[in-house]
Amino acid sequence: MSMVRRLLTTTLTSNGLRDLRRARHRLARRIGGRAMTVDFFFQVDDPYSAIALPYLDALVERYGLTLKLHLVPAPDAAAAPEIERLADYGRRDARMLATTLGLAPIGAGHPSAAQIARAQAIAAAALNGERPIDALTAVGCACLDEDTDAALAAAAERFGALDAATTATIVAQGAATRQKLGHYLGATTHFEGEFYWGIDRLHYLEARLRAEIGASDAPVCPVLDLRALPAPVEAATRPRLDFYLSFRSPYTLVAAERIGALAEAYGADLRLKFVLPMVMRGLPVPGAKRMYITLDTKREAARAGIAFGKIVDPVGLGVERGLAVLHHAIAQGQGLAFARSFLRAAFAQGIDMTTDAGLLPVAARAGMQPDAVHAALADPSWREVAEVNRTDLFALGLWGVPSFQVDDRPAWWGQDRLWRVEDDLCDALNLPPIDRKTS
């Protein structure tokens, strides 16, 4: 069974299969004489939708794309089981992104269900108007304005509004199209078989478009990432850097491979805080979500030069055994080394972590002897630590991994916020801020 899983995931994440799919879509488009067409799924109360639209507009203009806009509801509970935390964090994160990139500011409003319905009616009316991207951007910003009612009233005066029944039909059609194509979130762009979420992934779409047309001018979409790390910083005090991780998260592999160098460069005290995966905490992970995460991790890992794709999912017993050993490895100063070794084994080497034949060599790579591994496996105290860490994570307003916090600053979720962690480390050390628009 492990061999079959390795073969399937290796094939699924291979560049060869990706290139074959792209070639098939490109050929069908050219034979049919169709334009390059992108679909964007707009959720009125999702701030990532509003801040992605200006860049999508720039892509349409630069590369001559045909744009289809779809109005969609919030993801269902299965795809986003902590929907309130996701919404609260998304507003904070999107405000940070808008400030970093010099975009129009995003408000801190918390729209009610009635206000969301009104915003959808206005957005639905704007879909077929002139400059719908500008209209949807305005509606998204109005929905999150501190005075939401007044902002929506102004938007309705400009763009009009459809009746509730017609709006509901349009939203349902958008949700059906999104589901058919294989996604579950708002702020997502789809182009010929691949999805690109928010601002963070549009540079992948642009790279694909540039390769097809042979563009040589500067790209328009930002790539927010760690800069070339400096020589280790000397400081009187060391910032605390908490790293929340689980052993079933492929994104955690990407973070684990990079965070050690980040901590070393800024002299941070790196603390590993492990939690059980969501699915082992009773939270569902639908198939479309697993598929997107796997393929998205592949491109993120490839960009960072990290091996990924030969997978034997350690969920269940494999995760439990790994966390038991990690608990002891942290106490012995080998935590990050073991975490990296385990994650590489599960997500890049296809090693079955439910057996000693898999786990013992993986632990040995991190400097742990078999006796220490067996002692760790016999100690159930890791479960209490994992629960304490989960409670701490929830207290930060987060729920998933990888997540990070520098000292007592706001925490950030996702390996693609490591650059924001770097900014926090600079702030903690009173170093000059990094200009992310030019770095």
Residue closest to 168 by CA, chosen among 118, 111, 110, 115: 118
Which pLDDT does position 245 carry in this prediction? 98
H/E element holding 385? helix 382-395
User: Cα 250 from chain centroid?
Assistant: 11
CA 231 vs. chain centroid, Å, equals 29
Whether 262 shows a pLDDT value over 90: the answer reads: yes
User: Which among 370, 437, 325, 413 is positioned nearest to 94, based on CA atoms?
Assistant: 413
Over the stretch 1-22, which tens digit does the pLDDT of each residue have? 677 788 889 999 999 999 999 9
pLDDT at 283: 63
Phi and psi for 404 in degrees, rounded to 5? -145, 150
Residues of the chain above pLDDT 90, percent: 86
380: DSSP letter: T
Whether the predicted pLDDT of 244 surpasses 60? yes
Express each pLDDT in 350-388 by its tens digit: 999 999 999 999 999 999 999 999 999 999 999 999 999
Confidence of residue 240 (pLDDT cuts 50, 70, 90): very high
Q: What is the pLDDT of residues 149-178, one digit of tens each?
A: 999 999 999 999 999 999 999 999 999 999
Q: What is the pLDDT of residue 230?
A: 83
* Whole-number pLDDT of residue 437: 76
Mean pLDDT of 106-122: 95
Which residues 6+ apart lie within 8 Å of 158 measured at CB? 135, 138
Cβ neighbors of 373 (< 8 A, separation 6 or more) are 325, 359, 360, 363
Residue with tokens 């038991």: 324
* Residue type, position 281, single letter: R
Give alpha helix (H) positions in 160-286: 164-181, 202-213, 250-265
User: What pLDDT score was predicted for residue 16?
Assistant: 96
Question: What H or E segment, with its residue span, contains residue 315?
Answer: none
pLDDT tier, 439 (very low <50, low <70, confident <90, very high otherwise): low
Using one digit for the tens of pLDDT, what is the confidence trace for 403-424?
Answer: 999 999 999 999 999 999 999 9
Give DSSP secondary structure letters for 141-157: HHHTSTTHHHHHHHHHH
Q: What is the pLDDT of residue 325?
A: 98
pLDDT band at 284; cut points 50, 70, 90: low
Return the closest-CA partner of residue 324 out of 351, 350, 342: 342
pLDDT band at 36 (very low <50, low <70, confident <90, very high): very high
Q: What is the DSSP string of 394-414?
A: HHTT--SSSEEEETTSPPEES
Q: Over 90: is that where the pLDDT of 207 sits?
A: yes
- Listed range (288-297, 299-308, 333-342) with the worst mean pLDDT: 288-297
pTM: 0.95
What pLDDT is stored for residue 327 in this prediction? 98
Residue 108, helix vs strand vs coil: coil
CA separation for the pair 251, 180 (Å, rounded): 25
Mean pLDDT confidence for 264-285? 86
Mean pLDDT rounded to a whole number for the chain? 94
Structure tokens at 390: 């989960």
- Which residue is listed with tokens 């800069």? 227
**pLDDT above 70 covers what percent of the chain?**
98
Cα 428 to Cα 239: distance, rounded to the nearest angstrom = 6
Beta-bridged to residue 274, according to DSSP, are 245
**Residues pairing with 406 in the sheet:** 241
Do residues 439 and 227 make contact, with C-beta atoms less than 8 angstroms apart? yes
Which H or E run contains 329? helix 317-331
| Stretch 132-136: mean pLDDT | 96
pLDDT confidence of residue 3: 75
Question: What's the pLDDT score for residue 158?
Answer: 95
